[in-house]
Amino acid sequence: MKETPPIQTIGERITFAWHDDALTVVINQKIPRSQQMALEAWMIAWIAVGVVFFWSLMHATGEERMFYSISSAFWTFFAFRVGKVILWRRKGSESIRIHKEGMSVKNAFGTLGKAQIFRLSHIQKMEIRRREPTAFLANLDQSFWIMGGESIHFTHDKKSFVLGKQLSEKDAQALAKLLDKGIRKFS
């Protein structure tokens, strides 16, 4: 029987293991319980607003009906986005696997998700995405109510790709070095 490789960590959210034929990395997307509760409370309040919009839509006429129709469409869009983030924070992870056939990157909701496959020989070095600490959008991208905020980027066949959602700079640097090491080892 094959021995299971030891699981190692980078920071609080990244786990990895070296196998004979691959490097596997998992970046957990869970947030502190207080932030999860705040996100879910916000969703409950958003649902209450939606109930009011849809109730008003059913009873409105003329221009009011148009207003509530447009408002309900926006409400639905944002409800979907927040619902996706809640699910991402409960069950989401980024899974990276490097082996001789290539590198796969998958944003998984539990076990669901489609992996992107990259040929190792076409991947250029992993680089940290530098953020301006005073930039509003850079800080917003690192917020717990958003799924984005990738910390590492690389080029594959002249296209840019990103991974490592909302990692600290220290964790992102350690992960980039680990991924580069895995790419060199299995190339």
Tokens representing 94 are 């980024």
- Taking the whole predicted model, whether its pTM rises above 0.75 is answered as yes
Q: What pLDDT score does 2 carry?
A: 66
Per-10-residue mean pLDDT of the chain, 187 residues long, equals: 81 94 95 93 95 92 92 94 93 95 93 92 86 68 77 91 90 95 93
Ordered by start, the domain boundaries in the chain are 34-88
Least Cα distance to 26 among 12, 46, 39, 5 occurs for 12
What local confidence, expressed as pLDDT, does residue 110 receive?
86
Output the pLDDT for position 130. Answer: 74
Give the pLDDT confidence score for residue 154 in this predicted structure: 92
| Close Cβ partners of 115 (under 8 Å, ≥ 6 residues apart) | 95, 97, 104, 105, 106
Q: Which helix (H) or strand (E) holds 5?
A: none
Pair 168, 115: CB distance under 8 Å: no
Write out the two tokens for 23: 């490097």
By DSSP bridging, strand 8-10 and strand 22-28 are unpaired
44: which residues sit within 8 A by CB, 6+ positions away?
A: none
**Which residue bears the tokens 């029987």?**
1
Q: What's the alpha-carbon Rg for the chain, to the nearest Å?
A: 21
